[in-house]
């Protein structure tokens, strides 16, 4: 791993490879669509084929840990291979684990994924701050010590989210807005970009929030889920240049043909390249 910050590597990757983040999510239905059994062997074939197809081209790959964990230790072994092969091909690996806990448990999660001596070490993880933003401090501190990153859930598109994320705290600020304020403080003064980012859905609609917190923004929900380039521009404004739009099943559905999957990723990447000038 190079000794540059995650924020710097993220910025360079988006400028050289384009903004797209490709999710490698071995959903049982997709395994079947690819003609594979819902077994660890099918998982391995699916995931490593996807990595081989696009890890040398796109900026980020985002495996969803749960789809590997469900196969136990053999599934985790496949995840380790996905991580190492993707990083060897030059892609940044963002592990979608959405961990959220406190104290020593939060630190243990940080050690598992962000300490670069770990077999599961990645460039960045997703994390949930909804036990209080301070609960993710061990992950953030470990990430910064290891030139890694954390994408904190801020405004997600799931229908259950507003009851927590839109709730108001003392002073009238929303919970999500408070999360964004914390990110702005953590990234203040970082060049060319901070390493602590946010997860914000592409289909959240109008929020009234500013996303100018000098950090990377993971935006799931593009493509098959309905999010468009225009949505990203409208929601994020000038901060759209810090966005990595993420798609998984919509792109993976183009498989099992390696060329068809690669072409689908190239088209999506090209579609969102216009965000660089936002």
The CATH number covering residue 96 comes to 3.20.20.70
Q: Which residue has the tokens 């999010």?
A: 227
For residue range 125-143, list pLDDT tens digits in order: 999 999 999 999 999 999 9
In a domain, 129, yes or no: yes
What's residue 275's pLDDT?
84
Mean pLDDT of the chain: 94
Question: Distance between CA atoms of 77 and 4, rounded to whole angstroms?
Answer: 28
What's residue 1's pLDDT?
45
Q: Which one of the listed residues 45, 62, 98, 159 is annotated catalytic?
A: 98
What's residue 61's pLDDT?
98
How far are the Cα atoms of 155, 210, 265 from residue 213, in angstroms, in the given order?
Answer: 14, 8, 28
What's residue 12's pLDDT?
97
Q: Is 168 exposed, middle or buried (0-12, 13-18, 19+ CB in 10 A)?
A: exposed
Annotated catalytic residue 98: yes
Helix axes 72-88, 40-54, angle to 10 degrees: 10
In a domain, 257, yes or no: yes
In a domain, 278, yes or no: no
Percent over 70 (pLDDT), the chain: 98
Q: Residue 118, SS3? A: coil
Backbone angles phi, psi at 37, to 5 degrees: -75, 155
Q: Quick one: pLDDT band at residue 123, thresholds 50, 70, 90?
A: very high
Looking at the chain, which runs of residues are DSSP E strands?
A: 21-24, 60-63, 92-99, 124-127, 149-155, 196-200, 217-220, 243-247
Q: Max alpha carbon distance in the chain (Å)?
A: 55
Residue among 271, 187, 174 nearest 232 (CA): 271
In a domain, 215, yes or no: yes
Return the minimum-mean-pLDDT range out of 19-33, 158-172, 216-230.
216-230
**Res 210 pLDDT > 50:** yes
Q: Quick one: pLDDT band at residue 116, thresholds 50, 70, 90?
A: very high
What's residue 224's pLDDT?
67
In a domain, 184, yes or no: yes
Question: Distance between CA atoms of 235 and 200, rounded to whole angstroms?
Answer: 10
Question: Distance between CA atoms of 216 and 273, rounded to whole angstroms?
Answer: 16
For residue range 222-272, list pLDDT tens digits in order: 876 778 899 899 999 999 999 999 999 999 999 999 999 999 999 999 999
In a domain, 225, yes or no: yes
Structural domain count, the chain = 1
In a domain, 43, yes or no: yes
**Res 2 pLDDT > 60:** no
Q: Is residue 162 within a helix (H) or strand (E), and if so which, with residue range?
A: helix 162-165
Q: Which domain holds residue 89?
A: 6-272
Please tell me the pTM assigned to this model: 0.96
Q: Quick one: pLDDT band at residue 278, thresholds 50, 70, 90?
A: low
In a domain, 277, yes or no: no
What's residue 236's pLDDT?
93
Is the preceding omega at residue 32 within 30 degrees of 0, hence cis?
no
């Amino acid at each position: 791993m190079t000794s540059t910050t995650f924020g710097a590597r993220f910025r360079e990757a988006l400028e050289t490879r384009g903004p797209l983040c490709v999710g490698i999510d071995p959903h049982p239905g997709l395994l079947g669509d690819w003609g594979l059994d819902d077994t660890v062997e099918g998982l391995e074939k699916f995931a490593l084929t996807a990595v081989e197809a696009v890890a040398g081209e796109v900026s980020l790959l985002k495996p969803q840990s749960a789809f590997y964990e469900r196969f136990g230790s053999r599934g985790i072994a496949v995840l380790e291979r996905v991580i190492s092969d993707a990083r060897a091909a030059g892609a940044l690996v963002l592990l979608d684990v959405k961990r959220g806990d406190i104290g020593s448990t939060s630190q243990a999660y940080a050690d598992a994924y962000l300490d670069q001596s770990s077999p599961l070490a990645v460039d960045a993880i997703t994390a949930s701050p909804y036990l209080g933003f301070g609960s993710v401090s061990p992950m953030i501190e470990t990430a910064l010590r290891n030139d890694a990153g954390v994408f904190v859930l801020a405004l997600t598109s799931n229908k259950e989210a507003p009851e927590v994320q839109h709730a108001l705290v003392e002073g009238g600020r929303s919970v999500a807005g408070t999360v964004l304020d914390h990110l702005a403080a953590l990234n203040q003064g970082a060049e060319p970009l901070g390493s602590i980012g946010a997860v914000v859905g592409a289909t959240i609609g109008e929020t009234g929030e500013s996303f100018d917190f000098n950090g990377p923004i993971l935006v799931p929900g593009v493509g098959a889920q309905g999010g468009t380039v225009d949505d990203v521009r409208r929601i994020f404004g000038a901060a759209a240049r810090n966005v990595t739009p993420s798609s998984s099943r919509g792109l993976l559905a183009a498989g099992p043909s390696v060329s068809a999957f690669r072409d689908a990723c190239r088209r999506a990447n090209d579609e969102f390249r216009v965000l660089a000038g936002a």
